[in-house]
C-alpha cells in the first residue's frame, strides 16, 4: 500500500516538472521566433529621406540690433525775462518756427515809459559831460596864462571825471531798460517746432515764468543702450541704419556722435547717441518715435556655422546628426555664440562633414537614410 502511494506521488511530481520544463522551452522558442521576426522587420524598415548640408568654414558679418528712441538735440523751455501781461500769441502748438520769429508779446507800455526816461537822462548826462570837457580845455588855457589858480583847473578836471562816470551809469541803465523793452517781444531762439504753450493771452507772467516749449526737429538724436560686451565695437562716426513704425520699409541713416562711458544705474548698459538730419519734408520724423537700429559690429572669419534648429540637446550635451555611408550618426558638438539663426560650432564636426537639416528629429543613431537633397552652407 505504501509503495503504491510513493509511486503515485512520484508520477505526479514527475508530470509537474516535465510540464514546467516543456512550458519554459516553449516560451524560449517563442521569444527567439519573435526576436527573429522583429529583427526581420527592423532590417526591412525603409531608409529615412533627409536633406543634408555640407560643412564649410565661412565668414559672417556681426550685425547688432537695438531698440532706441528719437529725441530732439535741442529741447528748450523758453521763459519770460520781464514782468508783464501777455498781449498776443502769434503761433499755435505744433507750428514750425524759424529763429527770431515772433512767438508772443508782453505789454510794453510801462517799460516803454521807463526806457524813454532812461534815454532822456542819458542824453542829458552826455551834454553835461561835453560841457565839462569844453570847460576843462578853457581852464587849461587860462591856467597857462596865469589868469586862474591851479585849484580852479583841478575843479574843472574833477567835473569832467564826475560827469563822465554819471554818463556811463546812465548809459548802462538805458541799455538795461532797452533789453527789458526788447524782451517784451518773445522770439524763437532757434529753428524748431512749438511743442506746448504754457500761457494764454491776458495772463500776467513773472520773471522766469515758462512761456512755451521749443523742440529742434531738424537735427534729431537716436538714443539707445548697449552692453559692456558690445561696447568695444562702437566708435565715434560708426554708421547706423534704423527704421520706424510710421514708415514701414523705409531705412534712415545716421552716425554715432557720442558714447557715454558711464552705465545707467538700473541695467548697467552704456548710452550711445547718433545724429540724424531730418531734412526730408516727405518723410518727417518726430521726437518720441521708436527706432529699430542695426549696425555692423565686425565679422567672424573661418568659422563653422549651422542652423540653430538642427542642434538638439540632451543630458550629455548638444548634438546633431551627420551622415556617413548612408547612416545617421549622432554627433556631440560644442556650441559657441548664436549669430541670428545660426550657431557657431567650435568642435565636434569638421569641414566636409554632411549634417542633416531635415529629418533630424525622426532618425536615431544608426538609422539608414536616403539623401534627397544636398547643399553647402
Chain segment 75-86, per-residue pLDDT in tens: 999 999 988 899
pLDDT of residue 163: 93
Give the closest residue to 321 by CA, choosing from 377, 376, 369, 375: 369
Whether 364 contacts 48, CB under 8 Å: no
* Dist. CA 193–CA 214, nearest whole Å: 6
Band (261; pLDDT cuts 50, 70, 90): confident
Q: Per CATH, which fold does 48-60+301-376 belong to?
A: 2.40.420
Say how many residues make up the chain.
Answer: 377
At 56 the pLDDT is 93
| Chain Cα centroid distance, residue 348 | 38
CA distance 270 to 23: 79
pLDDT in tens, 38-54: 554 445 568 999 999 99
Write the pLDDT tens digit of every residue in 22-36. Answer: 565 555 655 666 655
Q: Which residue has the cell 522583429?
A: 38
**CB count, 10 Å around CB of 268?**
10
Residue 42's pLDDT is what?
46
Do the beta carbons of residue 71 and residue 221 sit within 8 Å?
yes
What average pLDDT does the chain have?
87
- DSSP one-letter string for 15-64: HHHHHHHHHHHHHHHHHHHHHHHHHHHHHHSPPEEEEEEE---EEEEEEE
Q: Which residues pair with 306 in a beta bridge?
A: 343
354 with 366: CB under 8 angstroms? no
pLDDT of 9 over the 90 cut: no
Would you kindly state where each structural domain of the chain is located, as residue ranges?
1-44, 48-60+301-376, 75-197, 217-300
- Looking at per-residue confidence, does 10 or 182 come out higher? 182
Q: What is the pLDDT of residues 114-161, one digit of tens each?
A: 889 999 999 999 999 999 999 999 989 888 888 878 888 889 899 999
% of the chain at pLDDT higher than 90: 64
68's CB contacts (< 8 A; 6+ apart) are 222, 223, 224, 225, 242, 290, 291, 293
- Residues 216 and 196: their CA atoms lie apart, in Å, by 13
Alpha carbon distance 243, 294 (integer Å): 9
d(CA 13, CA 230): 85
> Which CATH number is associated with domain 217-300?
2.40.30.170
Closest among 22, 7, 191 to 95, alpha carbons compared = 191
- How is 58-106 classified by DSSP, letter by letter? EEEEEEEEEEEEEEES-EEEEE-SS-EEEEEE---TT-EE-TT-EEEEE
What does the alpha-carbon distance between residue 350 and residue 14 come to, in Å, rounded to a whole number?
Answer: 67
**Residues sharing a CB contact under 8 Å with residue 257, sequence separation 6 or more, in sequence order:** 221, 236, 273, 274, 275
**Residue 267 belongs to what H/E stretch?**
none
Cα–Cα distance between 318 and 163 in angstroms, integer?
95
Q: 25 or 298: whose pLDDT is higher?
A: 298
Amino acid at each position: 500500500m505504501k509503495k503504491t502511494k510513493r509511486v503515485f506521488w512520484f508520477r505526479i511530481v514527475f508530470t509537474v516538472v516535465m510540464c514546467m520544463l516543456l512550458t519554459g522551452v516553449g516560451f524560449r522558442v517563442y521569444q527567439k521566433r519573435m526576436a527573429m521576426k522583429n529583427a526581420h522587420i527592423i532590417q526591412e524598415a525603409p531608409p529615412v529621406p533627409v536633406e543634408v548640408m555640407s560643412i564649410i568654414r565661412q565668414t559672417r558679418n556681426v550685425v547688432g540690433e537695438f531698440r532706441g528712441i528719437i529725441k530732439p538735440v535741442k529741447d528748450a523751455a523758453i521763459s519770460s525775462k520781464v514782468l508783464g501781461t501777455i498781449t498776443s500769441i502769434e503761433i499755435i502748438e505744433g507750428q514750425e518756427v524759424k529763429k527770431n520769429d515772433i512767438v508772443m508779446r508782453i505789454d510794453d507800455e510801462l517799460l516803454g515809459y521807463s526806457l524813454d526816461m532812461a534815454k532822456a537822462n542819458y542824453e542829458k548826462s552826455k551834454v553835461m559831460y561835453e560841457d565839462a570837457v569844453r570847460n576843462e580845455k578853457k581852464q587849461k588855457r587860462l591856467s597857462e596864462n596865469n589868469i586862474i589858480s591851479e585849484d580852479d583847473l583841478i575843479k574843472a578836471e574833477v567835473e569832467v571825471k564826475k560827469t563822465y562816470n554819471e554818463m556811463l551809469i546812465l548809459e548802462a541803465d538805458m541799455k538795461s531798460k532797452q533789453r527789458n523793452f526788447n524782451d517784451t517781444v518773445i522770439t524763437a531762439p532757434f529753428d524748431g517746432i512749438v511743442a506746448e504753450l504754457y500761457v494764454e493771452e491776458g495772463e500776467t507772467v513773472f520773471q522766469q515764468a515758462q512761456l512755451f516749449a521749443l523742440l529742434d526737429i531738424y537735427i534729431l538724436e537716436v538714443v539707445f543702450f548697449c552692453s559692456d560686451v558690445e561696447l568695444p565695437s562702437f566708435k565715434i562716426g560708426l554708421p547706423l541704419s534704423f527704421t520706424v513704425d510710421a514708415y514701414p520699409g523705409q531705412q534712415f541713416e545716421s552716425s554715432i556722435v557720442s558714447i557715454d562711458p558711464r552705465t545707467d544705474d538700473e541695467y548697467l548698459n552704456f548710452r550711445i547717441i547718433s545724429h540724424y538730419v531730418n531734412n526730408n519734408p516727405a518723410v518727417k520724423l518726430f521726437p518720441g518715435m521708436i527706432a529699430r537700429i542695426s549696425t555692423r559690429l565686425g565679422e567672424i572669419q573661418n568659422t563653422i556655422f549651422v542652423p540653430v534648429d538642427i542642434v538638439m540637446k540632451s543630458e550629455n550635451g548638444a548634438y546633431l546628426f551627420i551622415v556617413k555611408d548612408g547612416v545617421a550618426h549622432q554627433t556631440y558638438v560644442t556650441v559657441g555664440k548664436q549669430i541670428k539663426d545660426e550657431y557657431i560650432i567650435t568642435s565636434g564636426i569638421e569641414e566636409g562633414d554632411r549634417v542633416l537639416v531635415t529629418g533630424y528629429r525622426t532618425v536615431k543613431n544608426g538609422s539608414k537614410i536616403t539623401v534627397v537633397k544636398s547643399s553647402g552652407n
